[in-house]
Structures are given as C-alpha cells and as structure tokens.
Structure 1
Amino acid sequence: MNAFPAHIDLKDRPALIIGGGAEALAKARLMLGAGARLTLIARKFAPETKAELQSRAHFIERQPVAADIEAAVLVFIADTPADEARRWAEIARMAGVLLNVVDQPALCDFTTPSIVDRGRVTVSISTAGAAPVLGKRLRADIEALLPPRLGVLADFADRYRDTVKATIAPRARRPFWEAFFEGPIAAQVLAGDEAGAHEAMLALINRPQTEEKSNTGAVHIVGAGPGDPDLLTIKALRLLQRADVILYDRLVSDEILNLARRDADRLYVGKAKSNHAVPQDEIEARLIELAREGKMVVRLKGGDPFVFGRGGEELEALRNANIPVFVCPGVTAATGCAAAANMALTHRARAQAVTFVTGHAKDEADPALDWSALAALKNTLVVYMGVTKAETIASKLIEHGRGRETPVAVVENGTRENQKIVKGSLAELPRLIEAGGIKGPALLVIGEVAALADGETLLEIIGKERAAA
C-alpha cells in the first residue's frame, strides 16, 4: 500500500482550515461531520462559507500565525496561493501537526478519502491523491451495496456485546454473531423494526444454552421491476447478492438473475396463461420450508410484488407460519412501461387519476370489473394481463360509455431490449394487438395520455406489411 489507512477520532478536538472559499467549505463539512472543534482562518471569507458555518465554526479574519497551526490536531490548507501554502506547510511540519494541502499531494501528510458514512460503519477509499474521481466512483459503487441503516445495526450489536459476553460461552460467541448478522434479527433492524428486533434479541440471548437455538431464516419478497436490470432498486440488488435461495417468476429477466450470488440456489416457480408451473400453495409451502432450514430466501417477482403479484398472499402465509418476512417494493409494470413509451400516466391537461385493473380472471372467464365505473372515470386505465381479453375489455368499455376514439397504447416487454409499442383507438384495440403481433407480457393503457406514447399505429403496421409483401 502507498499509504497507511487510519481513522482519527476528532470529536471535540481542534482542527484548523486555512482558507475561506469553496475548497475550505468542503473540508469544513468533513471536519464538522467528525465532531471536530473547527477554526477557519483567512483574510476574507466567501459569503456562502460564512452563511453555512456561522454557528458551527470559529472564524478569524486575518493571516494565520504559527501559534494557530501549533494548536491544532490537524490542518487543511485550501484556497491559498501555492507559495503561501508551502510556507504554512513548512510551519506545520516543524510543529509536528498532520497536514493536508488541497490538490498538492507532495505537501500532504495525509489525504482525505472518499467516504461512505453509515454512522459507526465508515468505509474510506483512497487513491493517494492520484485519481480522486476514481475514488468517488468506487464510493458510489460501495454506497449502493451497503444498507442505509448499517450504522444503526452496528449500534444495536454494540448494545448487546456485554450481555452476549456474559451469557454465551467464548467459543460460541463468534458463531453467534455471524448467525446474528446473517439472520432475521439483523434484517428487522435494517428494515426499521428496532422494537421487534430488541424483543427477539433478548429472547435469543436468554434462551438456556442447553436449548437448541432457533435456526429460522427469513424471507424477502422482492420486486424485480419490469425487466430492465437498471430499474432494480439498490435494496433489491443487495438482497439478491445475499440470498441463499431465490424463487423467481416467469417475468424475471435473465439479466436480473445474473446479478444474484453465483452459488445461490434458483428455483423457477413461474406462471403462464393456463400453465401454473407451481401452484400458489406449494410456493408458499416451499418458502416456509426453506426459511425453517435457516436460509435467507428471496421471493423474486416481476414488477412490484403487491401489484397483481400475489405478494400479499405469500406475506400472510409466512406470517401465519411465524416466519420473519420483509417486503422490498419494485418498479411496477405500469410506471416502467409508461416511461419506456415516453407516456405519462397522469397529466394535468389529460388525466388527473390512474386506475390499475387486471384483465385476467380465474378459469379464463371474463374479468369481473365494474365497467360502468371504469368507463365513467374518463382518466387513465391501465390493464395488466389484458391481451387475451382485449376484445372484451374494449367492447365493455364502449358499451358503458367510453368513447370509441379514446386513445390506447399497448406495451409488450416494456423496458426490455425486445419491447414493442403499438397505439391507436379503443375501437381498434383487438386489431391493433393482432396486427402488431402482441403476445405478451403486455400492458394496455387506455385514456388520453396514450396519444402521447411512442409506438406504431395500425396504419403504419399495415403499411409496413404491404411494403414487405
């Protein structure tokens, strides 16, 4: 390594910044975040520097003197001409004070790293001043992998260190903590349920040592979004990379599955029209069984698990079985496909509301919807799983008062490389789907906003077919 990494405790200790501009302000934020008693010295301060730090730092408007530098634990020199910076750097060295001169690595005793701050958990990335932009990119990558409440989890564990030490045999402590950080109690803390986590932790610690410890894992019901891996949430990515087992649906793309841990077991439980690969009650039984084996299970669903995804049924089944369960939402197909088609679902001039319905009914029956209410809304109607029932949907809406010329858009495989978008009027919806070769998975968007969508019209599709013939 080119430099030894060390974290310095600056709480209530004196730090000095020579300079009063933007560079000084950036360093001041770091020092105040670390709890230092901060002094800034400059002949003149930028108004924004004083405005932001006025009640949090001490300002001295003059040239620094040796005594100022000697009184500090560490010193930053910023917004200062090179010759002056070298002079103050020499004084700092003679005083044995740690020094950083902004953008002059040769004069520095230390460099400021790119920092990932999670409270008690701090990650610093340094390129020894060689490539600061690279350090910032690495920080962004690490930020995406670390839960925002990781520091809270560290505080939680610290609260129980002495209790664990007093109640658990020395050789069992490390396995205990390893199981804790991978288990459901830690997941509760990260999810924000600290009260429940404290209750579970006390029960775990107070259980007699002769009694077999609970080996229950946890289930995370995770939304995979509409297909584009870039639309996966950061939390979903973290869970995929920690999962022991992943149960996934038909609509989960290979690109998203490839982001999971390589050694994770992957179980396909997808459903297609008239082909339920695994019945719903069997999926729920598998989730319970795998969690009771102590595994961290991800139930991965296309879109959002709580929007026509049966996530609520699985949540209820897991809770009834006393399995720790958590939900990670995803970008639902409606918002994902609308964005892919450059089509707003609400628009001040065209639609003040949006309604989601499913066009799929049990045993291939027509969807049991309140057609009069849906036709009367005159706002955006989004139909999930409606391709096979498109003719019924169009005729029912027109029969109950929705205009035949109401714009519609059909988005197939939205956000994916093979997405297809066609648009037209409500009356021509069945012909539009047939001519466009729409098979699904696809979303129907009905309402004035559909006129704004990208995509081919029926005339354009027919014209291309004639030209090809």
Structure 2
Amino acid sequence: MDYLPVFLDLKNKYVLVIGAGEVAFNKIKLLLRANALVNIVSRNLCSEIRRLLVEKKVSWIAQEFQISYLKNIFLVIAATSNTELNLKIFNKCNKLKILVNVVDDQSKCSFIFPSIIDRSPLIVAMSSSGQAPVLLRLLRKKIESIFPMRLGNVAKIAGRWRLTVKKHFSNFLERKHFWEKLFNSIFVQHIINGKEKKAISILQKMIKKPSRLIGEIILVGAGPGNSDLLTLRAFQVMQEADVVLYDSLVSQDILNLVRRDAKCIYVGKRARLKSITQEKIIKLLIFFAKQGKKVVRLKGGDSFIFGRGGEELEAAQNANIDFQVVPGITAGIGLSAYSGIPLTHRDYAQGVIFITGYKCMGNTPNNWSILSDPSYTLVVYMGSLNALEISEKLILHGRSKSTPIAIISNGTTINQEVIIGRLDEIEKIFKFSSSPSLLIIGQVVVLHKKLAWFKKLTNLSNIETTS
C-alpha cells in the first residue's frame, strides 16, 4: 500500500492555496465542501475564484508567495506552473511537517487527492496511488452508479436515532442485528424516495418488535435485452434483492448483475407452451415477501406494457405488502430504436399504437378501423402469434397490402435480426424469423435504409435469393 487512506477534518482549519487558475478552483471547491478556511496566494484570479472572493468564501492574502504565509497553516496546495516555486514550497512544507500537494507532480506530494463519491455523511474515496487517474475516473463512475443520491440521508436519520436504539438494545450484538435488519428493509428505500416519515415509522415498529421482518415486492423492467439498457435504478435494486423471480425474456447478461447470493427463480411463460401459471407466480411473490425478504420481480421490457405487472401489484396491495415499481425500456421503444425505425415521424406517422398478438384474435375485440389507419404506426408484441389473421384484418379494414413491415428478433442484442417486407407477405416473413420477435407495421419502416445503425438489416428479397 503506497498511501494510507485517511479522512482529514479541515473544519475551521487554514489551508493555503498557491495559484488561482482552473486547477486550483477544482481543489478549492473540495476544500470548501469540507469547511476549510482557504487563503489564496496568486497574481491573478480566474473568474470562478473571483466569484468566491466576492461571496467572501475565500481570502486573497497576497500576489507572491512568502515563507511567513505558512504560519498556522494545516495543509498546502501548490497549483502553479512555476516548477522552481513548487519545489521551494514542497521542501519548506516538508521541513515544517505541513501536508503539501503539488498538483500533477506526485513526487512532490506528501498526500494526494482521492476520487470521491460524496453522499454525506457517507463518503467513499478511491485512489490509484497516482498511477492511472483515467482508469480511476472510469471506476468511480461505475461505483457511484450504485449509490442513490439520498443514501446519505439514511446515515443521518440513523445517527439521530442511534442513542434511542442504544438505550433499547443494551447488548452490542442485539444492536448490530437491529441495524442490519433495518438497513435491509424498506426503511432505506422510503428515505431514498423522500418518504422519511414512513421510514421512521418502520424504524419505530422494528424497535418495538425487533423480530418482525418487513418484506417488499419490487417490480423491475429489465429492458429489451441488452444489459447496457438496464436503468440505473434497476441495477441498484437487483444488487439489493434477496429473491428474484425472472421471466424468459430476461437475458443472462442481465441476470449476471443480480446480487450473487440472491435466490433466483425462473418463472417464465411462453405462449402455447406449458409453463408456470400467473396465480403461482403471485403466490411465490407474496410468500417470500411475508418472510421479510426483498423480492424483485424481473420482467423483460417494461412491467406495465403487456407484462401483467398491474395484476401482481394488486395482489401485493391486497396482501398488505409494500411495493414499488422500476420502469424499463419497453421492447417497442428499444427494438425500434436499435433498428433505425422511428415510431413517429411528421412525414409518415402521427401516432403509434401498441397491441399484442396474443389476444388480437381472442375474445377481446379490437377496433380494426383505428388499427388500419395508415397515419398510425402499429407495434405488435408477440407478433408471430396470429400474424396472418392480423394481416388479413388490417387489409380488410383499409391498410394497403404494400404497407412496409419489419420483424425484429432478439432485438438490441448481438443476435438482432431485422427482416423488412410488405404486409401481405407477413406469413412468409415469419417463416424466416426467430423468437422472440416484435412486429412493426407502417410507413416509418421505410426509414430503416437511412437510419439503421446497430446492425445491417435484412430485406425479404435478400432472404429469398439466399435461401
């Protein structure tokens, strides 16, 4: 270990900054966040530091550095381009046992600035020991993404209740067990969502009944397949899950992001195949939540777009179980974007309609006159189901036989396939497509030639000549 990571208390301590350019300003911002008293020595001040001076947040004590300015100084930062001056400052500070940092010159630093993730009072500091700052920035972005912005409020509230908890649980192990249960409960999520009163209510209940576990159900949209399209919030929730119930459309790449010790249960349903019932899925959700577990219901796309998420949350509400929803990018939006097919365009479509092929020809009636309006793009989920009947109904009610269509399989992934054809060729096209697939019907499909960017699209005529 090249450096000992420590956290310095700079509150009301004098810090001397030599130099007042952009680099110095970035350091001064950190110092002020730590409530340091900043003195500046520099001939010129950049506009940002001048603003701080006007606001009386810093003091400009001189234009030229002198040894006497080190008196009563706790820490020094040299941010000048004068190498001789920087060396002089470094040597003098070392002699006086004052911490010093010469910016961008590791050999003249008795301390270095870490990369900081600030969720005060929670602070995470990271360092590459000055060896790879760019790599450090990239790692910081990844790590910061798992810390919600209000996470610091969890620590603040816990701090306010610390003495109360200590009085109630005199034994250290009891207190430790209490805090572990609390931080693994919905208490944290209520604070992150800005519901502090609810969070404190949970805390009070757990103090009175410490053995009671409080579970919850979290409905998470996993997006259209590509793990890069998973939302930040979805990733955070998956890292906190005790149990994950996932569908067949959730890719392995996304499942790999689930907390390693979480229990993952496959509850996928595929049309026309024997699979678990919706009633059984709901019973599992409620069973695990009543055990006090954080249960994530992970669904492909978005849970509220043909995902039966509403039914599952109704059951949670009826069972008096807390729940929340994390939306995802629905397949219709994700796959169209990755295929270069905008669903609306002022020259081609004034609106878009989402339907499902599963129930198109069942007992649920469709308004075919609206669906056949050429000014609307039609997006059909599970489009391979009843594809021929859908085509015939649309043509019967006025859609042109030559209406462009696209069938997108394994969308947004490296296996994405897009086949372009006409509405009256739909049965033939589906013979060449794989599952799962999405069907897009409308004039916007012609834009694929200009806007395709992810993978080269396949035209039906090409399939016919090569098959």
Aligned to 2:32: 32
Aligned to 1:79: 80
1:183 is aligned to 2:185: yes
Aligned to 1:326: 324
Name which of 284, 287, 308 aligns with 2:282. 284
Name which of 257, 260, 263 aligns with 2:261. 263
Aligned to 1:420: 417
Long gaps (5+) in structure 2:
none
How far did 1:439 drift?
4.0
Question: Is residue 44–residue 61 contact of structure 1 (8 Å, CA) maintained in 2?
Answer: no
Long gaps (5+) in structure 1:
none
Q: 1:430 to 1:318 in 2, by over 3 A?
A: same
1:392 is aligned to 2:382: no
How far did 1:174 drift?
0.7
The 2-side partners of 1:384 and 1:427 are apart by 19
Cα deviation, 1:409-441, whole Å, max 9, x if unaligned, reads: 11111012322101123333333223xx22421
Q: 1:360 to 1:109 in 2, by over 3 A?
A: same
How far did 1:372 drift?
1.8
Question: Is residue 357–residue 382 contact of structure 1 (8 Å, CA) maintained in 2?
Answer: yes
Q: 1:106 to 1:349 in 2, by over 3 A?
A: same
How far did 1:84 drift?
0.9
The 1-side partners of 2:116 and 2:210 are apart by 42
Aligned to 2:340: 342
The 2-side partners of 1:320 and 1:21 are apart by 61
Name which of 199, 202, 213 aligns with 1:200. 202
How far did 1:159 drift?
2.0
1:3-402 matches, cutoff 5 A: 3-47=3-47, 49-50=49-50, 55=55, 56-59=57-60, 62-170=63-171, 171-205=173-207, 207=208, 213-275=211-273, 277-361=275-359, 365=362, 368-376=365-373, 378-402=375-399
How far did 1:327 drift?
1.7
How far did 1:212 drift?
6.5
Cα deviation, 1:15-73, whole Å, max 9, x if unaligned, reads: 23211222112212222232333333211233455457753433456112234333433
Q: Secondary structure at the match of 1:351?
A: coil
Q: 1:448 to 1:245 in 2, by over 3 A?
A: same
Q: Secondary structure at the match of 1:347?
A: coil
Name which of 437, 442, 460 aligns with 1:447. 442
Question: Is residue 360–residue 366 contact of structure 1 (8 Å, CA) maintained in 2?
Answer: no
Q: 1:120 to 1:451 in 2, by over 3 A?
A: same
Q: 1:88 to 1:279 in 2, by over 3 A?
A: same
Question: Is residue 348–residue 375 contact of structure 2 (8 Å, CA) maintained in 1?
Answer: no
Aligned sequence identity (%): 40
Amino acid at match of 2:75: L
Matched pairs, number = 458
How far did 1:269 drift?
0.9
Amino acid at match of 1:452: L
The 1-side partners of 2:163 and 2:73 are apart by 36
Cα deviation, 1:227-271, whole Å, max 9, x if unaligned, reads: 112222233223323322211111111222222233332211111
The 1-side partners of 2:346 and 2:61 are apart by 53
How far did 1:94 drift?
4.0
The 2-side partners of 1:24 and 1:156 are apart by 35
The 1-side partners of 2:378 and 2:18 are apart by 61
How far did 1:351 drift?
3.4
Q: 1:118 to 1:456 in 2, by over 3 A?
A: same
How far did 1:276 drift?
5.1
How far did 1:386 drift?
2.0
Amino acid at match of 1:272: R
Question: Is residue 182–residue 203 contact of structure 2 (8 Å, CA) maintained in 1?
Answer: no
- Give the stretch that moved more between structures: 282-291 or 56-65: 56-65
Amino acid at match of 2:107: A
Q: 1:269 to 1:99 in 2, by over 3 A?
A: same
Query: Aligned-residue CA RMSD in angstroms?
Result: 2.4
Q: Secondary structure at the match of 2:90?
A: helix
How far did 1:330 drift?
1.6
Question: Is residue 378–residue 440 contact of structure 2 (8 Å, CA) maintained in 1?
Answer: yes
The 2-side partners of 1:42 and 1:346 are apart by 57
How far did 1:132 drift?
1.9
Amino acid at match of 1:6: V
Q: Secondary structure at the match of 2:373?
A: helix
TM-score by length of structure 2 reads: 0.91
Amino acid at match of 1:92: C
TM-score by length of structure 1 reads: 0.90
The 2-side partners of 1:57 and 1:357 are apart by 61
Q: Secondary structure at the match of 1:383?
A: strand
Question: Is residue 52–residue 58 contact of structure 2 (8 Å, CA) maintained in 1?
Answer: no
Aligned to 1:433: 430
Q: Secondary structure at the match of 2:6?
A: coil
Question: Is residue 77–residue 85 contact of structure 1 (8 Å, CA) maintained in 2?
Answer: yes
Question: Is residue 366–residue 392 contact of structure 1 (8 Å, CA) maintained in 2?
Answer: no
Q: Secondary structure at the match of 1:241?
A: helix
Cα deviation, 1:300-354, whole Å, max 9, x if unaligned, reads: 1111112111111111211221222222222211122122212222334433433
The 1-side partners of 2:250 and 2:97 are apart by 59
Cα deviation, 1:168-189, whole Å, max 9, x if unaligned, reads: 3324111000111111222322
Question: Is residue 376–residue 402 contact of structure 1 (8 Å, CA) maintained in 2?
Answer: yes
1:405 is aligned to 2:402: yes
Q: 1:59 to 1:452 in 2, by over 3 A?
A: farther
